[in-house]
Amino acid sequence: MGIINLTPDSFSDGGLLYRGERLDVNTVVDYAQQLIEEGAAILDLGAESTRPGSQSVGESEELRRLMPVITAICEASRVPVSVDTYRAAVAKEALAAGAEIINDISAATFDTAMLPLLCETSAGICLMHKQGTPQTMQADPRYDDVVAEVASWLAERKNALVAAGVAAERITLDPGIGFGKTDEQNLDIIRRIKELKTLGYPILLGPSRKSFVGHILGLPENERLEGTAAATALSIAFGADIIRVHDVKEMVRVARLSDAIIRSRH
């Protein structure tokens, strides 16, 4: 899953696709095509930063950033598009424009209209665990057993969706690396992905350039490629099905070799 941040303030690549203060649609489409050529199987578009400490931009600004881009990308490509949003109104517009997946960091808890929308559509949905909100989640994350608690919470959310009428095969689960977790808790989640796999759903993981990589290696965001590669390879070895990354070309190579070793795929 290749990341396309349509924000000026995302933690690693905010403003990458801007010309001055203006988001350039042609630049974004060209970047999307580059990620596809590098091997992205899914494009994940986000128009609001959810990094620790980020502030909400509001629905109208999220739509203003997202809609021209998603329309252009869906017209230019057949690669499935995912939209990183927790707002039902944004999700509805994105799906109408051609998106196929909603990647909701709140697992349909921030917006009560999200669950009815998912029941009305055939969209895929990624349910992510987080503790707190982007504004507060890294203040003091605490768990008795992070993996057991994340698994229990994700199980409750997927059960709620299935009970409401969302087809089980449309659901993917994300334990939320970096969303209300310490460095050691993030590492524990990666080590114990197989426990999350017992829930019976595909597991998406997003270790790309995250702070735990930087803290352990003592590196800034733009020097975390090797650390991301290590996390990606081991996540695949432990059972992850989808890896959400910034550096698509390099991580596709890591994934292909990891699959060849672990799953006999090449």
Which residues are marked as active site? 210, 244
Helix (H), strand (E), coil (C) string for 129-186: CCCCCCCCCCCCCCCCCHHHHHHHHHHHHHHHHHHHCCCHHHEEEECCCCCCCCHHHH
Residues in contact with 108: Cβ distance below 8 Å, sequence separation at least 6, in sequence order: 86, 114, 115, 118, 125, 127, 157, 160, 161
- Helix (H), strand (E) at residue 57: none
Half-sphere exposure of 151 (CA within 13 A, CB side): 18
* Beta strand pairing call for 22-23 and 18-19: antiparallel
Report helix, strand or coil for 26: helix
Q: Are 180 and 137 in contact (CB under 8 A)?
A: yes
Q: Please report, for residues 24, 50, 77, 215, 261, the alpha-carbon distance to residue 199 in angstroms, rounded to integers and kept in the order given.
A: 41, 26, 33, 30, 24
Alpha carbons 135 and 258: distance in angstroms, whole number = 35
Q: What is the distance between the alpha carbons of residues 209 and 187, in angstroms, rounded to a whole number?
A: 14
- Longest CA pairwise span in the chain (Å): 48
